[in-house]
Structure 1
């Protein structure tokens, strides 16, 4: 008989198994009384399902773990975050269980995107929160108006952060790095760019660019590793940047290595803006800005 991937001790007899047999190498314990069969490593979905088998029947996967399951890889999905309205003491290895008065709206015991993001704000910082929200919007899971309304009505842990982050999120953002670059500029007091607009004319389009400051014809592009390792992408990028420069745009390119020097990026953007008539103040590197961009290592 072919065994399912997840097995509980309670259902062992149905498959002709004894509890002692679960000690064999073919089984791995995922949670209290829940085992994985087969040589393949457990997926996040399987780990979440195993956690639910060990938790109260009303438990829901939420927070950062739920974000990962919705396609938003911010922070670490482990331990499994879950919420329950059931009282009593439940401690399970690899599970972080919150007891709540009201369970988040869910589907098949997985919190829906907006409430999952709201719950995640209890452990994310501002940059991570905005990057996660930007990604949810890009994937078509939520709209900014939904996040703003949800954050305004929410009073759980991280609610103040959620309200601020919801208003900083934008549509059209392709990656967490783009979210980070945009916030690096905006939170330093520089003008806010448009995200991934097409520049050029209808008859002669140049292409989409990550961040564009239209009034000053300045473009800020994040060049990920795939831009460098894919010869075709690299050639296209060169052609786009040359066309933008020919059209009068100043193009600032930011690599992964350059992200380690955020002040230099902000200063460069300000310098290009000033050359083109910007009269606003120089970047303001507040304590919050320093904590968000200088005192951490981004995992994306």
Structure 2
């Protein structure tokens, strides 16, 4: 790794692979640069920022074009996890935008236009997580999105966008919670409540999702999406288990859900939820 006083590569500005020619692999292998988006790199000591993202996009998009799609969402501050399986964004642009704004000198479709486009074009789970993320930023609201989506009636993806906007919710705190919510809806369990507040003698917390209006024998069902980043270490798992024990004491049965449970083909999640709610899930799932 580079010492702290070593000069920044290209003064900390993003650059293309051709600008370092044969040194690219060497710099990547030694951890001196990182890829910002596909085909654009920067010194590892430069933190992520809206300015950096705009500078990276500027290297790939024609000056007379308008950034759109998932690239526009990334410029508006939406993380790539909510937009699709790819870890790095690619450059998407158009010369016929419906509504545009400027982000650090880059022409980009507005947050509302971008969210509606993603609701129409992305696979359903990512369409929902992308719209949820836009709502969470406060740069778009559901009523404005519904009004904007009406202009696309009759076009490909219109009915999917209506389905996504019907269930979109700004309270979803992560893409994983959005995907989990959609899977429960598709299984026929109805729309769960989000950020369910639980009060107890020794516990005050919020559950990611739950069914507080559907008690079964005096107990309620809650679900928590446990990401690998925050729930993988031994200490984190012990903390989570202690929390679930306390929740059981105040009448909440909590199902812990990981990414493999949400995206896996086996319907263990639906069967576990259905067993508690005494309801046969609708299978197979739609995604």
The TM-score normalised by the length of structure 2 is: 0.72
Choose from 71, 75, 85 the match for 2:78. 71
* Cα distance in 1, alignment partners of residues 266 and 159 from structure 2: 26
- Verify: 1:61 aligned to 2:33, yes or no: no
SS in 2 for 1:198: strand
Q: Is the 8 A contact 2:197 2:204 kept in 1?
A: yes
Displacement of 1:104: 2.2
Match of 1:229 in 2: 232
Displacement of 1:190: 0.8
Q: Give the alignment of 1:133-212 within 5 angstroms.
A: 133-155=131-153, 157-200=156-199, 205-212=203-210
Q: In structure 2, do the counterparts of structure 1 residues 39 and 270 end up closer, same or farther at CA, with 3 Å as the change threshold?
A: closer
Displacement of 1:230: 4.6
Cα RMSD for the two superposed structures: 3.1
Structure 1: which 4+ aligned runs deviate by more than 6 Å? Answer: none
Gaps of 5+ in 1: 9-21, 29-37, 85-99, 275-280, 293-300
Match of 1:103 in 2: 98
* Cα distance in 1, alignment partners of residues 167 and 266 from structure 2: 19
Q: In structure 2, do the counterparts of structure 1 residues 172 and 49 end up closer, same or farther at CA, with 3 Å as the change threshold?
A: same
Match of 1:45 in 2: 54
Match of 1:125 in 2: 123
SS in 1 for 2:92: strand
Displacement of 1:82: 0.9
Q: In structure 2, do the counterparts of structure 1 residues 181 and 6 end up closer, same or farther at CA, with 3 Å as the change threshold?
A: closer
SS in 2 for 1:228: coil
SS in 2 for 1:209: strand
* Cα distance in 1, alignment partners of residues 21 and 164 from structure 2: 46
Displacement of 1:6: 7.1
* Cα distance in 1, alignment partners of residues 60 and 92 from structure 2: 9
Q: Give the alignment of 1:23-42 within 5 angstroms.
A: 25=21, 41=35, 42=40
Gaps of 5+ in 2: 1-8, 25-31, 42-52
Displacement of 1:63: 0.6
Q: In structure 2, do the counterparts of structure 1 residues 249 and 137 end up closer, same or farther at CA, with 3 Å as the change threshold?
A: same
Match of 2:281 in 1: 283
Q: Give the alignment of 1:231-270 within 5 angstroms.
A: 233-259=236-262, 260-270=264-274
Size of the aligned set, in residue pairs, is 240
Q: In structure 2, do the counterparts of structure 1 residues 72 and 142 end up closer, same or farther at CA, with 3 Å as the change threshold?
A: farther
Q: Is the 8 A contact 2:118 2:131 kept in 1?
A: no
SS in 1 for 2:59: helix
- Deviation by residue 1:247-269 (Cα, 9 ceiling, x = unmatched): 11111111233332551111110
* Cα distance in 1, alignment partners of residues 193 and 223 from structure 2: 10
- Deviation by residue 1:49-74 (Cα, 9 ceiling, x = unmatched): 1233x34x2x2111111112222311
